[in-house]
């Protein structure tokens, strides 16, 4: 069986494509660099991360992008020996306007390198590129309408893309306005048995999320809605383990079986809080005699386990618990915040076996932070690192952070107090309110190194510190990791909790910090 979610932790808006015997999924990365996570599978159950698509600032400039802005809903496709990736880069997301740009890059391999981007349009997010049998190509996206008295989600529109001119040409056509569920977005267009099928996300990314199917005998429509819509949703099952199910895309296996990948989340019981963020699950699907798609297990709820396709099992090596930073480059599962990992602020060679970070801006900056992070993927785990750092001022800090955005984080850090000397303590931001837990700060003058640990046990998050990695002292008391969630405080973000190693030097003198390793260990019940 396929165990859902197949891509745990912050992996939303999955787009899927099959080329021969290989399956690829691309997910949104928002303000984290490099952009667009890509996974590879041969059996739909086992997935490995391959290089991100957008590796260069010329492809993706996130400097100053708002939290939960940046890369939204990438879509991958393949035609005639070439892979296509289109993505939205969002520069403003709050208020009535959505300042965004949709781009296209191509590659002969899903592992890259990918081309320089081609600008497409800025009319709305969630683009999708459809390759017609006659060779024409069509861009779909939702239309954003900011005007008073208009539906902000104004439906799905389509325009032809000319690859020779590398631009959109011809009229913009309105394809589909959606259903009573509203918030119509996330289109995928595909053909089967003489019909064009349009699969869309509806209901918003929260509790009312859904996937709805429509079809037409003509590309330009009109599109008829599935009379039993939606295909997939958890909107009427608030206690179901997988919530917020929607934004689906389908793929047909090489032996004719159909699967849908989709967004889901796993909130803590009785809450909407989901620090793992929006994740990706897979569902086996079947077609009815009259040509509508249904979940193979019946109903509309996503299955916790889905039948495997009739394909050979193909497992990949598991990610090691401990990263000793012995390689020349960062491992693929790390990302940096808005900026590329370059030698101006990060080095794996200046002190071999250590990750050296040069302190820059604060945890509240949308510009030049020095942070290397990985996804939180389990709510029972232990994270540990060892830090060497000699701050000279209270504006120099380094340590271990559990980070959602500048409004919500927990930061176990070393700094210097002008009266006490070196101190190790917990600073927090919860709902935008900053605090420091002075009563639990440790005086750490004379410590040879700073071993930092975090224990996640459900909603409980506890931080500990040690001079030797053997004798541990708790710092900051028990914290609620639920605050590192999309919907905490009503902020409606789109990412998930990240575990970061970071350094700040707000004075601008680039004080460095050395991290010896990072361990991420899953704790079994």
pLDDT tens readout for residues 19-49: 999 999 999 999 999 999 999 999 999 999 9
One domain for residues 240 and 201 = yes
In a domain, 316, yes or no: no
- Cα 30 to Cα 151, 290, 335, 404, 422: the distances in Å are 25, 39, 11, 12, 36
Cα of 42 vs its chain's centroid, Å: 22
Q: Which tokens belong to 113? A: 């390198």
Q: Which tokens belong to 426? A: 């917990």
One domain for residues 291 and 392 = no
One domain for residues 24 and 142 = yes
One domain for residues 266 and 346 = no
Strands 185-192 and 195-202: antiparallel
d(CA 74, CA 84): 10
Q: What is the pLDDT of residue 525?
A: 74
What is the pLDDT of the chain when averaged over all its residues?
97
In a domain, 317, yes or no: no
In a domain, 62, yes or no: yes
One domain for residues 339 and 278 = no
d(CA 47, CA 24): 9
pLDDT band at 133 (very low <50, low <70, confident <90, very high): very high
One domain for residues 37 and 140 = yes
Q: Which tokens belong to 446? A: 């004379």
Q: Structure pTM? A: 0.97
Q: Which domain holds residue 74?
A: 2-306
Q: What is the pLDDT of residue 491?
A: 81
79-127: pLDDT as tens digits: 999 999 999 999 999 889 999 999 999 999 999 999 999 999 999 999 9
pLDDT band at 457 (very low <50, low <70, confident <90, very high): very high
One domain for residues 270 and 356 = no
In a domain, 314, yes or no: no
In a domain, 241, yes or no: yes
Which long-range contacts link 114-117 to residues 24+ away (Cβ below 8 Å)? 114/53, 114/54, 114/55, 114/59, 114/85, 116/58, 116/59, 117/58, 117/59, 117/60
Q: Which tokens belong to 184? A: 């119509």
- Which of residues 306, 331, 366 is at a domain's end? 306
* 99 annotated active-site: no
In a domain, 315, yes or no: no
Structural domains of the chain, count: 2
Instruction: Give the mean model confidence (pLDDT) for residues 206-219.
Output: 97
The one catalytic residue among 13, 126, 441, 455 = 13
366-408: pLDDT as tens digits: 999 999 999 999 999 999 999 999 999 999 999 999 999 999 9
d(CA 464, CA 454): 6
Residue-wise DSSP of 436-478: E-GGG-EE-TT-SSEEEEEEEETTEEEEEEESSSSS-EEEEEE
pLDDT higher than threshold 90 for residue 492 = no
Instruction: Give the mean model confidence (pLDDT) for residues 430-446.
Output: 95
CATH number at residue 262: 2.115.10.20
Q: What is the pLDDT of residue 347?
A: 98
Instruction: Give the mean model confidence (pLDDT) for residues 429-453.
Output: 96
One domain for residues 233 and 94 = yes
In a domain, 199, yes or no: yes
One domain for residues 65 and 177 = yes
In a domain, 59, yes or no: yes
d(CA 28, CA 11): 7
- Which of residues 306, 336, 358 is at a domain's end? 306
Nearest CA to 76 out of 27, 123, 7 is that of 27
CATH number at residue 409: 2.60.120.200
- Let me know: does 400 contact 383? Beta carbons within 8 Å: yes
The one catalytic residue among 126, 185, 279, 514 = 185
pLDDT cut 70: percent of the chain above it: 100
* 31 annotated active-site: no
d(CA 175, CA 188): 12
One domain for residues 157 and 79 = yes
Instruction: Give the mean model confidence (pLDDT) for residues 151-159.
Output: 97
One domain for residues 361 and 291 = no
- Which of residues 255, 272, 306 is at a domain's end? 306
One domain for residues 389 and 297 = no
């Amino acid at each position: 069986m396929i165990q859902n979610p197949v891509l745990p932790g912050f992996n939303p808006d999955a787009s899927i494509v099959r080329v021969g015997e290989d399956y690829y999924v691309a997910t949104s990365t928002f303000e984290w660099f490099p952009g667009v996570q890509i996974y590879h599978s041969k059996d739909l159950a086992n997935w490995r991360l391959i290089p991100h698509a957008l590796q260069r600032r010329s492809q993706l400039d996130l400097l100053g992008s708002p939290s939960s802005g940046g890369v939204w809903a990438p879509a991958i496709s393949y035609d005639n020996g070439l892979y296509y990736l289109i993505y939205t880069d969002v520069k403003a997301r709050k208020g009535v306007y959505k300042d965004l740009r949709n781009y296209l890059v191509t590659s002969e391999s899903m592992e890259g390198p990918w081309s320089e981007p081609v600008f497409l349009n800025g009319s709305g997010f969630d683009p999708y590129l459809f390759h017609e049998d006659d060779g024409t190509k069509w861009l779909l996206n939702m239309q954003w309408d900011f005007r008073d008295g208009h539906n902000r989600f104004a439906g799905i529109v389509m325009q032809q893309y000319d690859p020779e001119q590398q631009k959109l040409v011809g009229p913009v056509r309105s394809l589909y306005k959606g259903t009573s569920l509203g918030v119509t977005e996330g289109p995928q267009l595909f053909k089967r048995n003489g019909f064009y099928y349009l699969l869309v996300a509806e209901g918003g990314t929260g509790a009312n999320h859904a996937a709805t199917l429509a079809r037409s005998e003509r590309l330009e429509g009109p599109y008829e809605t599935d009379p039993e819509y939606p295909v997939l949703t958890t909107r009427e099952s608030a206690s179901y383990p997988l919530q917020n199910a929607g934004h689906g895309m389908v793929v047909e296996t090489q032996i004719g079986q159909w699967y849908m990948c989709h967004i889901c989340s796993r909130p803590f019981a009785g809450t909407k809080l989901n620090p793992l963020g929006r994740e990706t699950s897979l569902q086996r699907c079947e077609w009815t005699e009259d040509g509508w798609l249904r979940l193979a297990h019946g109903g509309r709820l996503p299955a916790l386990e889905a039948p495997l396709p009739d394909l050979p099992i193909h497992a990949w090596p598991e990610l090691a618990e401990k990263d000793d930073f012995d390689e020349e480059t960062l491992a693929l599962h790390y990302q940096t915040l808005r900026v590329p990992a370059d030698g101006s602020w990060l080095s794996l060679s200046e002190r071999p076996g250590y990750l050296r970070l040069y302190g820059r801006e604060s945890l509240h900056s949308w510009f030049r932070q020095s942070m290397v992070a990985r996804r939180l993927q389990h709510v029972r785990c232990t994270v540990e690192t060892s830090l060497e750092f000699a701050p000279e001022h209270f504006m120099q800090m380094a340590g271990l952070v559990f980070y959602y955005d500048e409004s919500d984080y927990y930061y176990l850090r070393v700094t210097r107090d002008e009266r006490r000397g070196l101190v190790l303590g917990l600073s927090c931001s919860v709902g935008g309110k900053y605090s420091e837990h002075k009563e639990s700060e440790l005086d750490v003058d004379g410590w040879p190194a700073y071993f930092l640990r975090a224990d996640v046990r459900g909603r409980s998050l506890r931080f500990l510190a040690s001079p030797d990695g053997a004798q541990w002292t708790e710092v900051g008391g028990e914290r609620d990791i639920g605050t590192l969630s999309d919907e905490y405080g009503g902020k409606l973000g789109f990412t998930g909790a990240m575990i970061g190693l970071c350094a700040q030097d707000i004075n601008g003198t680039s004080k460095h910090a050395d991290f010896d390793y990072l361990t991420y260990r899953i704790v079994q019940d």
